[in-house]
Amino acid sequence: MNADEAASSRTAEIRNLRGLHARAAARFVKCASQFRAEVTVRKDNLSADGKSMLGLMALSASIGTVVLIEASGPEAAAAVAALGQLIDEGFGEER
């Protein structure tokens, strides 16, 4: 596997009170868009493009929901780490 094919994933629990709402989704997309990686977020049997605000909101991920962040590409590991940290920190919102 070369660097262009690198993949990474991790789970994260939504911790902010309002869940993955518009502001949180916008922060996620802004963060994801900084990386050269394809990002997917999975909840149960649903998946969304991690760079699509509407797709993320359609997951209806509320507080306590565990999501799977997956990324592939040259910056996959860095993307997953940064996005996981963003979720772990509650998107900088009240928890």
Positions annotated as catalytic residues are 21
Query: For residues 47 and 4, is the Cβ–Cβ distance under 8 A?
Result: no
Amino acid at 95: R
E runs forming strands in the chain: 7-13, 38-43, 46-49, 66-72
